[in-house]
């Protein structure tokens, strides 16, 4: 019996190995190195100098920009995740209906995901430009005043969230769509025989069966939201001022514009701890419900 | 056992699509292997990797020179590649830290890489090579103990370009030679009002351009000895206030300084005839000649003059990296590109300013726009010493970025001028510790 | 089994308010999704100055193709395209294989460290590329994968998103199926290959699309790893139009449109595999 158990476990480990090996070599080991780097001050002219917790103290006590970025990212994540979760379910269900031109609709929702973040940001920059943007042109056509969309702090954050949702909704809708395929028809028919209407069916059949998929959307969406960079960096550059400065942007700036790799590492460690804690919480909650 | 399987056709599983995919993949794996195999090594020919980033007219210029070098040096083959500027520093730092940097690279902040650059002195044929070049730019590629890491390859000069046609259309005279920034801004605002174009004046969003503005007030980033910062000095403060003021009164649009991060330029607006007064630099001349053509009349004018001339020198450098396998051949390439002959050809074709003393002395005759280029050259001559001190300070890029971002915060109303300068000063002192 | 009218509805029967509502939402959503992209395509046929016109035009005033011809003559499109295809296909094949294997282990086996490993895998998503770029590159260089297509194929192929996605999907496959197969004497690998994988098709289709898209659009990492022009991918070639002070947007637009085409074709083909299994199951009793 023991050999059976061992070979069973061995099989599991074997299946895991290729993927995990790549992770360890190419992500985990470098990440650990990075986290150690947070204890050093780096310079372009000489090798790094050990400074212990100095970077963290600076980050958490003296750096107004870092706290600004933290505040911004929290606002961003909440808005982004709420919209993505709700809309992806809605869109996923819609795209699952047996309507004509379904393939076309699916392609249309997925297109933005295929674009590189730079292109997405540029297109929306053009649309939202206060001087020659399409949106303002439409407003003027309707007799309404032009708005300085990306030049006002509150609007800039709104559009940052909007554009990110626009560019990633298709991704999550596809995931929901795949999840919907796993729901047995028998359940729908049973509900139907019981006389359940559309909404009741949705609530009592679709949603519970979608839970594992929803966990993916929620967790993945949250992580990606915290880590967003390219889209927003090109769209607003963190501006106006620091209204849309996000944490990864802060990290990038510290590392590649100010040569402060140790500081960047410290910030990335803080970010990691926050996201990891939230993810574990979600995971444990989900597990108690049996959906993960 | 009859079971309803929710997952579509269960046992049909492997089926055609998967087999086809496997076949296709194997095919491509084989093809890939073929592609991945390296080309046969020719022992006699050394390959040198030369990394470049381009802004247009310099590309044919440098490509011509590379071809010439390849032809006249049969034992060397240059592998020339172009990368986008935005990722240049990231790329070089990453590759260099793993010993995989290119042999020669065009950069704008050479000091970033001093840990990894190659001292060319032992390999140069001309032992006095360094002396051929302008002193201040040369300092930027010289190590603490006199190491020669490369050469300054082109010189740039900040300065304004104006849309003359718009001035004429508005019936406004161009301000005279020693006019202040204020004079120019007022004139530009008048022209905007009269002609209805969207933008009166614009300055590239850059710590470098901003410093050029500060210089004419006697302001700047660093102290004389380069070891401390004077961001909170009275002169700098006055200049920043004026700069912010021009934004607040609408002369300069928010689109540039509040509308993005990193570098933002206003060249497209100028080319489209939507901008009256554009503070940028001589590197635009070639682009504008092509892009504007005959659409409207434009020219270069001197920097604003408050208590002294404004402006900033700048430029690009070629640096060599330690991991080069054939340093003597790299030195040969550097001596070629830095020679009077090659440099003249480059400067003329790309419309850049040369960095060799002899060429600056005897002047360079540009095929077109000679007058505009000479406005810039004259400007170089009038630069205050502090401009050189700032631009060629090893931390200029970093401090410039910091001040630039803080000034943006003032413009958007997030910070007061005093608070912004204080924060910038603190950060700059931090950076100087590196 | 008798099929009720409601079941017919799910298979696309007659129209009713619900269906009209569905169409309405879809059309509106499609417009928001599609129009900006449409604008990119139309703008790729405009001259550079028209692209920057105030006020902007939607349809080109003058249709030109010089953006395409001009960009194409500026770099070896075919070579870059080939490289992109090779990288994308090989990486996707590897991704599908190893992700599904890992997901299988994580969803269908119990072993010590299972949850921890899963969370660590998720954890790798929480580290921005910017901070591990230098050490990862060092690893690549030491392994001799610098300046090689393998260097941009292997490291990204272990996608944590893929593992997560497949694992969640595999969780919904009843364990009884595996047990039955084991009783029939099937080995673990056969179970994986012949029982679980086929049932995971919709998720595999989704991952295929994602993987193709990710590898096709990879930019920063290939930029750093690949030094030789003959190994450049399409995205790297595209980037050469972005200089320090000037960007040739008209070329960027044209090349962007060209680089989207292959992948939209792939998507159009693969999305068929996301058809609900309702039509063919359950009715057989």
Same fold, B46-155+315-362 and B171-313+391-432: yes
> How far does the CA of residue C285 sit from the closest CA of chain A (Å)?
10
Position B52 pLDDT exceeds 90: yes
Of A97, A111, A119, the CB nearest to C22: A97
The CATH number for C248's domain is: 1.10.3720.10
Residues making up chain A, counted from first to last: 292
Question: Any idea which of A183-197, B133-147, B320-334, C87-101 has the lowest mean pLDDT?
Answer: A183-197
Mean pLDDT taken over chain A = 87
Q: Which residues of chain C have pLDDT under 70?
A: 1-17, 52-56, 240-248, 273-285
Q: What is the DSSP string of A137-191?
A: HHHHHTTPPP--GGGSHHHHHHHHHHHHHHHHHHHHHHHHHHHHTTS-HHHHHHH
Answer whether B398 sits within 8 Å of A259, measured CB to CB. yes
Considering the domain architecture, whether residues C265 and C169 belong to the same structural domain is answered as yes
Average pLDDT (A200-209) is 83
Rounded-to-integer distance, Cα B11 and Cα B2, Å: 14
* Spatial contact of A179 and A212, defined as CB atoms under 8 Å apart: yes
CATH topology for A64-288 is: MetI-like fold (1.10.3720)
Q: Which runs of consecutive H residues, i.e. helices, occur in chain C? A: 5-10, 17-43, 48-51, 66-74, 77-108, 114-123, 129-142, 150-153, 160-171, 175-183, 188-190, 197-199, 201-217, 220-225, 234-239, 249-270
- Where in chain B are the domains? 46-155+315-362, 171-313+391-432
* Residues in Cβ contact with A162 at an 8 Å cutoff, skipping those fewer than 6 apart: none
Q: What is the DSSP string of A60-91?
A: III-HHHHHHHHHHHHHHHHHHHHHHHHHHHH
Q: What is the CA radius of gyration of chain A?
A: 23
* Residues in Cβ contact with B324 at an 8 Å cutoff, skipping those fewer than 6 apart: B48, B103, B118, B330
C212 interaction partners in chain A (CB closer than 8 Å): none
Position A131 pLDDT exceeds 80: no
- Where in chain A are the domains? 64-288
B10 interaction partners in chain C (CB closer than 8 Å): 198-199
* Spatial contact of C102 and A16, defined as CB atoms under 8 Å apart: yes
**Greater confidence, B271 or C281?**
B271
> How far does the CA of residue C230 sit from the closest CA of chain A (Å)?
23
Pull the structure tokens for residue C188.
């673990």
**Residue C6 within a domain:** no
Rounded-to-integer distance, Cα A248 and Cα A255, Å: 10
Q: pLDDT exceeding 90 applies to what percent of chain A?
A: 39
Answer whether C281 sits within 8 Å of B198, measured CB to CB. no
Query: In the CATH scheme, what is the code of domain B46-155+315-362?
Result: 3.40.190.10
Cα distances (Å, whole numbers) of residue C147 to B38, B113, C230: 10, 21, 10
End-to-end CA distance of chain B: 74
Chain centroid to Cα B32, Å, comes to 37
Domain around C41: 16-64
A61 touches chain B (CB under 8 A): no
The helix (run of H) or strand (run of E) holding residue A17 is: helix A2-23
In C, residues 93-112, which contact A (CB 8 Å cutoff)?
Answer: 97-99, 101-102, 104-106, 109, 111-112
In B, residues 84-143, which contact C (CB 8 Å cutoff)?
Answer: 84-87, 90-91, 93-95, 97-100, 102, 108
ipTM surpassing 0.85, yes or no? no
Return the partners of chain C (3 or more C-beta pairs < 8 Å). A, B
Average pLDDT (B376-401) is 84
Cα distances (Å, whole numbers) of residue A269 to A40, A59, A228, A251, A261: 13, 11, 16, 10, 12
Is beta strand B46-52 parallel, antiparallel or unpaired with respect to B104-107?
A: parallel
In A, residues 236-275, which contact C (CB 8 Å cutoff)?
Answer: 248, 251-252, 255-256, 261, 264-265, 268, 271-272, 275
Rounded-to-integer distance, Cα C104 and Cα C115, Å: 14
- Of the candidates C148, C235, A19, C218, which has an alpha carbon nearest to the alpha carbon of residue B33? C148
Q: What is the pTM of this model?
A: 0.82
Chain A interface disruption, residue of C3, C15, C30, C36, most A CBs within 10 A: C36
pLDDT of res. B22: 60
* Residues in Cβ contact with B164 at an 8 Å cutoff, skipping those fewer than 6 apart: B174, B296, B297, B298, B299
pLDDT of res. B26: 66
Average pLDDT (A60-73) is 91
Answer whether A241 sits within 8 Å of B408, measured CB to CB. yes
Q: What is the dihedral of CA B164, B166, B170, B173, to 10 degrees?
A: -20
pLDDT of res. A218: 93
C239 touches chain B (CB under 8 A): yes
CATH topology for B171-313+391-432 is: D-Maltodextrin-Binding Protein; domain 2 (3.40.190)
Rounded-to-integer distance, Cα B380 and Cα B376, Å: 6
In B, residues 179-238, which contact A (CB 8 Å cutoff)?
Answer: 198
Q: pLDDT exceeding 70 applies to what percent of chain A?
A: 97
**Residue C1 within a domain:** no
Position B36 pLDDT exceeds 60: no
Strands, E assignment, B256-329: 275-281, 298-300, 313-320
Exposed, middle or buried: residue C261 (CB in 10 Å: 0-12, 13-18, 19+)? exposed
B293 touches chain C (CB under 8 A): no
pLDDT of res. B391: 86
pLDDT of res. B13: 39
pLDDT of res. C240: 67
Chain A interface disruption, residue of B244, B270, B408, B412, most A CBs within 10 A: B412
Q: How many domains does chain C have?
A: 2
pLDDT tier at A3, thresholds 50, 70, 90: low
C168 interaction partners in chain A (CB closer than 8 Å): 179, 212-213, 215-216, 292
Residues making up chain C, counted from first to last: 285
Q: Tell me the β-bridge partners of B202.
A: B278
Position A280 pLDDT exceeds 50: yes
Average pLDDT (B309-317) is 88
> How far does the CA of residue C5 sit from the closest CA of chain A (Å)?
9
Q: Which runs of consecutive H residues, i.e. helices, occur in C160-270? A: 160-171, 175-183, 188-190, 197-199, 201-217, 220-225, 234-239, 249-270
pLDDT in tens, B78-113: 999 888 887 888 899 999 989 999 999 999 888 889
**Residue C5 within a domain:** no
Exposed, middle or buried: residue C272 (CB in 10 Å: 0-12, 13-18, 19+)? exposed
Residue B35, SS3? helix
Chain A interface disruption, residue of C1, C9, C14, C33, most A CBs within 10 A: C33
pLDDT in tens, B243-270: 999 998 888 988 888 766 666 778 878 8
Residue C104, SS3? helix
Cα distances (Å, whole numbers) of residue B152 to B322, B337, B353: 18, 10, 11
**Greater confidence, B37 or A59?**
A59
Phi, psi of B52 (to 5 degrees): -140, 155
C229 touches chain B (CB under 8 A): yes
């Amino acid at each position: 019996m023991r050999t059976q158990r061992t070979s069973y476990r061995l099989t599991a480990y074997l299946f895991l190995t290729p993927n995990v090996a790549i992770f360890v070599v190419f992500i985990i080991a470098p990440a650990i190195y990075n986290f150690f780097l947070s204890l050093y001050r780096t310079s372009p002219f000489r090798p790094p100098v050990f400074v212990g917790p100095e970077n963290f103290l600076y980050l958490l006590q003296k750096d107004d920009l870092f706290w600004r970025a933290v505040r911004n990212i929290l606002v961003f994540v909440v808005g982004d995740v709420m919209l993505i979760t709700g809309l992806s379910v809605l869109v996923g269900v819609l795209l699952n209906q047996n309507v004509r031109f379904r393939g076309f609709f699916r392609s249309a929702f997925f297109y933005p995901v295929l674009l590189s973040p730079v292109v997405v940001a540029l297109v929306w920059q053009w649309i939202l430009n206060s001087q020659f943007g399409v949106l303002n042109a439409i407003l003027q056509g309707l007799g309404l005043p032009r708005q300085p969309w990306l030049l006002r702090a509150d609007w800039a954050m709104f559009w940052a969230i909007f554009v990110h949702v626009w560019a990633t909704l298709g991704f999550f809708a596809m995931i929901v769509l795949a999840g919907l395929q796993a729901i047995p028809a028998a359940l729908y028919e049973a509900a139907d025989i019981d006389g359940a209407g559309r909404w009741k069916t949705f609530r009592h059949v679709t949603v519970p069966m979608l839970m594992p998929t929803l966990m993916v959307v929620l967790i993945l969406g949250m992580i990606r939201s915290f880590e967003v960079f390219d889209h927003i960096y090109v769209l607003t550059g963190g501006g106006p001022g620091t209204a849309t400065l996000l944490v990864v942007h802060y990290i990038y700036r510290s590392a590649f514009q100010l040569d402060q790799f140790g500081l960047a590492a410290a910030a990335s460690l803080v970010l990691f701890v926050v996201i990891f804690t939230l993810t574990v919480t979600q995971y444990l909650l989900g597990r108690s419900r049996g959906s993960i | 056992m009859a079971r309803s399987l929710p997952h579509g056709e269960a046992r049909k599983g492997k089926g055609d699509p998967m087999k086809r995919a496997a076949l296709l993949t194997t095919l491509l794996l084989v093809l890939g292997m073929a592609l991945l195999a390296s080309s046969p090594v020719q022992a006699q020919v050394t390959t040198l990797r030369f990394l470049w980033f381009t802004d247009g007219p310099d590309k044919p210029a440098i490509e011509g020179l590379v071809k010439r070098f390849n032809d006249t040096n049969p034992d060397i083959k240059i592998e020339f590649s172009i990368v986008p500027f935005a990722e240049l520093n990231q790329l070089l730092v990453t590759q260099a830290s793993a010993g995989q940097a290119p042999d020669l690279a065009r950069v704008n902040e050479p000091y970033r890489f001093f840990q990894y650059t190659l001292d060319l002195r032992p390999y140069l044929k001309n032992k006095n090579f360094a002396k051929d070049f302008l002193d201040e730019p040369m300092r930027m590629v010289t190590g603490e103990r006199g190491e020669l890491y490369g050469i300054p390859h082109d010189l740039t000069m900040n300065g304004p370009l104006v849309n003359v046609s718009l001035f004429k259309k508005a019936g406004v005279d161009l301000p005279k030679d020693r006019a202040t920034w204020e004079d120019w801004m007022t004139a530009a605002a008048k022209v905007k009002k009269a002609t209805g174009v969207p933008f009166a004046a614009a300055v590239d969003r850059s710590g470098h351009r901003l410093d050029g503005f500060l210089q004419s007030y006697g302001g700047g980033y660093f102290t004389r000895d380069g070891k401390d910062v004077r961001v909170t000095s009275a002169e700098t403060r006055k200049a920043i206030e004026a700069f912010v003021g021009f934004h607040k009164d609408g002369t300069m649009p928010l689109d540039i300084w509040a509308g993005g991060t990193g570098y933002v330029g206003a060249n497209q607006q100028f080319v489209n005839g939507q901008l009256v007064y554009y503070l940028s630099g001589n590197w635009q001349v070639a682009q504008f000649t092509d892009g504007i053509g005959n659409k409207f009349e434009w020219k270069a004018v001197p920097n604003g003059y408050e208590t002294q001339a404004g402006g900033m020198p700048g430029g690009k450098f070629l640096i060599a990296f330690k991991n080069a396998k054939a340093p003597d051949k790299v030195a040969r390439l550097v001596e070629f590109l830095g020679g009077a002959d090659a440099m003249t050809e480059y400067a003329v074709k790309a419309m850049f300013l040369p960095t060799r003393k002899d060429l600056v002395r005897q002047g360079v005759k540009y095929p077109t726009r000679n007058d505009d280029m000479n406005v810039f050259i004259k400007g170089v001559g009038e630069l205050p010493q502090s401009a050189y001190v700032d631009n060629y300070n090893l931390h200029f890029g970093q401090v410039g970025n910091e001040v630039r971002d803080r000034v943006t915060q003032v413009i958007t109303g997030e910070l007061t001028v005093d608070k912004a300068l204080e924060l910038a000063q603190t950060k700059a002192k931090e950076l100087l510790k590196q | 089994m008798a099929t009720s009218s409601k079941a017919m509805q799910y298979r696309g029967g007659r129209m009713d308010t619900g269906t009209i509502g569905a169409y309405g939402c879809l059309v509106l959503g499609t417009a928001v999704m599609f129009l900006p992209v449409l604008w990119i395509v139309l703008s790729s046929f405009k001259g550079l100055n028209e692209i920057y016109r105030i006020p902007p035009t939607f349809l080109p005033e003058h249709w030109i193709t010089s953006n395409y011809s001009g960009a194409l003559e500026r770099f070896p499109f075919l070579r870059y395209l080939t490289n992109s295809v090779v990288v994308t296909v090989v990486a996707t094949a590897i991704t599908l294989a190893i992700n599904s294997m890992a997901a299988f282990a994580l969803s269908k086996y119990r072993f010590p460290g299972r949850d921890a490993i899963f969370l660590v895998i998720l954890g790798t998503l929480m580290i921005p590329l910017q901070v591990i770029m230098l050490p990862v590159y060092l690893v690549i260089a030491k392994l001799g994968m610098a300046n090689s297509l393998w260097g941009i194929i292997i490291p990204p192929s272990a996608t944590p998103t893929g593992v997560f996605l497949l694992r969640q999907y595999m969780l919904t496959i009843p364990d009884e199926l595996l047990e039955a197969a084991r009783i029939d004497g099937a080995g673990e690998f056969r179970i994986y290959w012949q029982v679980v994988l086929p049932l995971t098709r919709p998720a595999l289709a989704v991952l295929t699309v994602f993987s193709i898209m990710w590898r096709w659009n990879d930019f920063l990492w290939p930029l750093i790893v690949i030094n030789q022009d003959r190994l450049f991918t399409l995205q790297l070639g595209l980037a050469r139009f972005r200089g320090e002070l000037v960007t040739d947007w008209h070329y960027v637009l044209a090349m962007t449109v060209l680089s989207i085409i292959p992948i939209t074709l792939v998507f159009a083909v693969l999305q068929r595999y996301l058809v609900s299994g309702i039509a063919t199951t359950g009715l057989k009793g």
